[in-house]
Structure 1
Amino acid sequence: MKRTFVIGALAVSFISVSAFANALEFPHIATTGYGEIQVKPDMAEFSVRVVQSQMDADQAKQSVDSVVDSFLNSLMSQGIEKHDIQSSNLHLSPQYHYPEKGKPELVGYRASRTVTVQVMELDKLNDYLDLALQSGINQVDSIELKVKDQGQYQQAARIAAIKDAQGKAASLAKGFEQKLGQVWRIEYRQPMNQPVVMRSMAMDSKMESSSYQDSVITIRDRVDVTYQIAK
């Protein structure tokens, strides 16, 4: 597991500043620690959609429902658990032609449904996308690469952030020939970690497995610490 530490901004204050309402009334050192952990994804979540246009609303609905039912059955036959699949309700909308003159003309109905699948074995992602294509799914909305146990990596990033803050404080105190005192305040601000996302692909566009298996997810953490300066 590769660890990367990012050095961020820091502030040093030895004398309180009365101009600020929240200024501390004693000598102190304030630091911000950052931590990053880079990990390879081991799971994914993808959303696909089937869109059909028909002259008749019932035909459009039946066509879309048939594709979704076929895809769901194929997924479960391949071992995907039911709780790892979410399918949306049908969205049906009339389609009109707008001539330069005259009233809009109804030309049919557009129906669509979305299916979201959680993939616990990343090496099978392309197989499930192939199933979608074979079932009649015609749009990939998104593919998100994730890690199963993000908590352990978040904890590692947090420890890295704590060590980063401690190291900065110790270095500053030594540099200014001061003695570092007790921790006075800790503020924890966990960043929002974003998964690796691949969006909007046509189902006839084949995605190479290396495009996601070689990806890296960066998990970040941050902590703000204020130390007293010992007398």
Structure 2
Amino acid sequence: MKGRDRALLAWAAVILPVVASLPARAEDEACRRGISVTGRAHAIQAPDFAEVTIGVEARAGNAAAALDVTSKGVAGIVALGRDLGIPAGDVGTAAVVLEPATRTVTRPNGTSQDEPDGYRASNRVTVRLADMGRLGDLLRRALEAGANRIDSIGFGLTDPDRVEAALQVEAARNARTQAASLAEAVGAHLGGLCSLSTSRTAVPMAMQASRAAAAPKRVPIEAGTIGSSAEVTATFAIER
């Protein structure tokens, strides 16, 4: 290769990277004077499953007797789940507690003191129910089967990721609409996307209950709704 040709190639090696970087620099400049907006989307829908924690609590003179009473009651609840066609995987132990019980005794001199008074046991199971219409029957029949506690009732969505994905798309469209309106208002043209970040919040509505006594009729339960929302923060380039 001649010296002149080698010199031309050397200059080309210097010039080409500079030329190639010009579009990137122009794009960076467009993003620096870009528009940042937050798009939002919200949806309210009925839950499609319920989750209830049901338990049995008992006191007895010795630990084994107290635990036997709760175990018998929980066995009835588990059997009820089978009768209602609830999958075995949707019925699980939530907690088993066994502890000494005490009672307060007042002395003739007016002082009081805690003394041993047998044992207290509790056994709780969590039942997930897809057939929401049977929730009231489940609670009533659980009490008939031996339960004497309903500790919590919650509601949720089986596929929250699908709801989240749809809301994020809607929020992204909302962000672009906002950015386009702002660009038009200042006499500019909206360019490409420079950055994008997302966030999501889902708030289920739940009910709480403490001790429950036997109920002669179906327990009335209203599931309410679940509110889900998504936010998308986006920056778009501005083209003059």
* Superposed pair shares fold, TM > 0.5: yes
Q: Which residue, out of 132, 139, 153, partners 1:129?
A: 139
The structural deviation recorded for 1:115 is 0.6
Aligned partners of 1:37 and 1:156 also within 8 Å: no
Indicate whether 1:219 and 2:231 are aligned.
no
**Cα deviation 1:64-94 (Å, max 9, x = unaligned):** 0000011101211221111011114521111
Q: Which residue, out of 196, 199, 211, partners 1:189?
A: 199
TM-score (norm 1): 0.81
Amino acid at match of 1:58: A
**2 CA distance for matches of 1:53 and 1:144?**
28
Give 1 or 2 for the bigger CA radius of gyration: 2
SS for the counterpart of 1:148 is coil
Match in the other structure for 1:208: 220
Q: In the TM superposition, what are the counterparts of 1:56-205 in structure 2 within 5 Å? A: 56-99=62-105, 101=111, 104-191=114-201, 193-204=202-213
Amino acid at match of 2:103: H
Match in the other structure for 1:17: none
Percent of residue pairs identical: 25
TM-score (norm 2): 0.78
Q: Which runs of 5+ in 1 are unaligned?
A: 1-23
Indicate whether 1:229 and 2:234 are aligned.
no
**Cα deviation 1:193-231 (Å, max 9, x = unaligned):** 13221012442376424x22xx22112111110112123
Aligned partners of 1:31 and 1:225 also within 8 Å: yes
**1 CA distance for matches of 2:31 and 2:180?**
21
Match in the other structure for 1:36: 42
Aligned partners of 1:75 and 1:131 also within 8 Å: no
SS for the counterpart of 2:220 is coil
Amino acid at match of 1:52: A
Match in the other structure for 1:54: 60
Q: Which of the two has greater helix per residue?
A: 2
CA gap 1:41/1:135 in 2 versus in 1, 3 angstroms: same
CA gap 1:41/1:25 in 2 versus in 1, 3 angstroms: closer
